[in-house]
Structure 1
């Protein structure tokens, strides 16, 4: 039985997204080839362009979807940043392509400043700020205001630090890139170390 046009079109679009995710993750934006994406998705370039307009727009769609995936699969636990960091570590093992997409976006799109629309971080930042106010995590007084007590570390900097710690063994590490094929005991050791390090960094006074 032939699927309805809308269902068939959505299936084609999804195949393009999956093929493009793999292509961009491996080759970056400049190195990716639309003809390879179309072939892998079992469609043609005309159909691809009808859905996404251009290679750049295709990358933007793929990258946005990858970031949304991470937010959906690994939601922040602002009152347990250590747990969040460990879950991010595990997601990088399962989906190394997602972290590679972010790296290509940094190299080829936004070499400075925010990597993506700042609005995507707003829920995480609000959660961290609430946890700071509740005393669940260290407020991180920096003492740079000249007054008593200093000032609270910006929630964005807290988020950035936890993410950086979670990426210590990520596919784009400058030291060592972990893979899911390594022994389970190795991953347990890293998780324990990461969890302890984040807890020590952000433990309440």
Structure 2
């Protein structure tokens, strides 16, 4: 029977996503990834190269999936608020994404910005933000997008701050709804302020 290369790659990427999300780049173990995928670890090197290359592939795949799943739709500040809400929902359902992004920042820092693939990905996201807020230049669109991403990604990976700052916010479902609403309000206001600054 022929070896199913694509299936093996999918299994490895799923196992690597879980491993990197839990342990980061430095703490992740190739042998654990291989064991979780049920394959020999030599397959990892054969298909993806070194561990840091596998990490880059995992993050790029996760972000690309999010880009396709959460479309930037409509125009105006409320549309941007809605986009933030849907991105928040997606990242709550796929908590590995914010964790991977934070691990990348902690372990790779500015070096991660050297990737042409990642640069193109984020350039497309800025362009989508400009379409949602016509008249906004790329710098202001980038600032707003950074605000959205920072707000959406921070909450799932900083539970200790949430517990310290908002200790009596109710059960988990209530707390998630309240945080979502707060993000939507902040992003909508930021988008309105950005548009207002373009007409002055």
User: What is the TM-score of this pair, normalised by structure 1?
Assistant: 0.77
Distance in 2, Cα, partners of 1:77 & 1:113: 28
What number of residue pairs does the alignment pair up?
182
Aligned counterpart, 2:101 = 102
Aligned counterpart, 2:152 = 166
Pick closer, same or farther for the CA change 1:174–1:154 going to 2, 3 Å: farther
The yes-or-no answer on 1:193 pairing with 2:192 is no
Distance in 2, Cα, partners of 1:91 & 1:36: 27
Pick closer, same or farther for the CA change 1:31–1:170 going to 2, 3 Å: same
Aligned counterpart, 2:126 = 125
Pick closer, same or farther for the CA change 1:201–1:64 going to 2, 3 Å: same
Contact 1:29 1:104 in 2 (8 A): yes
Offset at residue 173 of structure 1 (A) = 5.7
Contact 1:74 1:88 in 2 (8 A): yes
Contact 2:34 2:41 in 1 (8 A): yes
Distance in 1, Cα, partners of 2:138 & 2:51: 42
Higher RCO (CA 8 Å, separation ≥ 6 residues): 2
Distance in 2, Cα, partners of 1:115 & 1:103: 17
Distance in 2, Cα, partners of 1:115 & 1:21: 22
Pick closer, same or farther for the CA change 1:73–1:55 going to 2, 3 Å: same
Deviations 1:148-172 (A, max 9, x none): xxx9962111111122232352224
Aligned counterpart, 1:43 = 39
Task: Structure 1: give runs of 5+ residues left out of the alignment.
Answer: 140-150
Offset at residue 96 of structure 1 (A) = 1.1
Distance in 2, Cα, partners of 1:132 & 1:36: 45
The DSSP-based 3-state class of the residue aligned with 2:72 is: coil
The DSSP-based 3-state class of the residue aligned with 1:133 is: coil
Task: Structure 2: give runs of 5+ residues left out of the alignment.
Answer: 164-170
- 1:5-154 maps to which residues of 2 (within 5 A)? 5=3, 8-77=4-73, 79=75, 80-111=79-110, 114=113, 117-133=118-134, 154=140
Which of the two has greater helix per residue?
2
Of the two, which has the highest radius of gyration?
1
Runs of 4+ with >6 A deviation: none
Aligned counterpart, 1:176 = 162
User: What is the TM-score of this pair, normalised by structure 2?
Assistant: 0.79
Pick closer, same or farther for the CA change 1:16–1:167 going to 2, 3 Å: closer
Aligned counterpart, 2:168 = none
Contact 2:147 2:187 in 1 (8 A): no
Distance in 2, Cα, partners of 1:71 & 1:173: 25
Contact 2:129 2:141 in 1 (8 A): yes
Aligned counterpart, 2:166 = none
Distance in 1, Cα, partners of 2:48 & 2:138: 43
